[in-house]
Amino acid sequence: MTHAYERLTHERVLDAVESLGLLPDGHVMALNSYENRVFQIGIEDDEGVVGKFYRPGRWTNEAILEEHAFSRALAAEEIPVIPPLVFDGRTLFELEGFRFTLFPRRGGRSPDLENPENLEWIGRFIGRIHLLGQAKLFRHRPQMGSDWYGWLARDTVLQSPLLPGEYREPYQQISTEIVEEVERLFAQVQPDNIRLHGDCHPGNILWTDAGPHFVDMDDSCNGPAIQDLWMLLSGDRLDMQIQLDALLEGYRAFHDFNTAELALIEPLRSLRQLHYTAWLAKRWDDPAFPLAFPWFSDSSYWSGYLSDLEQQLLRMKEPPLRLFP
């Protein structure tokens, strides 16, 4: 059987752009995206656009449009996100079974996160995102927590033929322990839920001389504020404390931060690990995945993965990061 994306030829991409009244110049370049298909598309006498073709069956139209509305509301407040382009009052379109959206083309480089001034700058914008995000919750997008990113991810892996038989029982046991510990810590902290970027890692922040801008709101969700901060931390415990201090210096200029949420950094990291493996298992029928992640089908991957999960369970039981006095 062919996968749906095998029908998404460059000719269909150009047809989609033309259907909105634009005149492509014939240049189409696939960008590094696996969940959706994303292309940089040249436009006659213009700087070009980026076209995102949504994975069939992943999001409902309502969920996609909620993300679009959030992005556009942030942009209207001069918060540097890349909102979808509007044609005749719409942002979501369909051609031959593919839903798609166009975005303005914006360049940038990776941010230097070793510079505390850059972290403070990023923190200010995340604080502004959360200030608007707290106004209401998404109705059609997921909640960051144990249901969607924990139990559902665990069940996806257990049902996958890619999980070797000898690792099925150990995975079932360690994943259960992890999700139960996540639930215990969430219940202990009882964080507030707001609308989030959801996937705010360094690769989704581009830097220019004018500062940072945020891309790829595709994983926007409801959840605790710390979800949009912890992925910007790296290194040992002291390194992360220094980075967090700089981030919050900027963040707190616009939004309060509940320090109790520091206890959720390792639980959220655990959910990301579970969700990532489930994502690979669920998408394995897409020909792009075996090519890009060939190691996933090796038994050695699962041995190392289980070891990582065991270490992650131990980290969740350690004292959380603390802010400097």
Does residue 62 contact residue 140 with C-beta atoms inside 8 Å?
A: yes
Max distance between CA atoms of the chain, in angstroms, equals 60
46 is catalytic: no
Report d(CA 47, CA 264) in Å as an integer: 42
Beta strand residue intervals within the chain, DSSP E: 24-30, 37-43, 49-53, 93-95, 98-104, 194-196, 205-208, 211-214, 221-223
DSSP tag of 83: P
From residue 197, alpha-carbon distances to 45, 80, 85, 234, 323 in Å are 33, 12, 19, 19, 23
15, 112, 192, 216: which is the annotated catalytic residue? 216
199 is catalytic: yes
Report d(CA 219, CA 12) in Å as an integer: 26
Question: Taking the CB of residue 300, how many other CB atoms lie within 10 A of it?
Answer: 8
45, 199, 228, 285: which is the annotated catalytic residue? 199
Residues taking part in catalysis: 199, 216
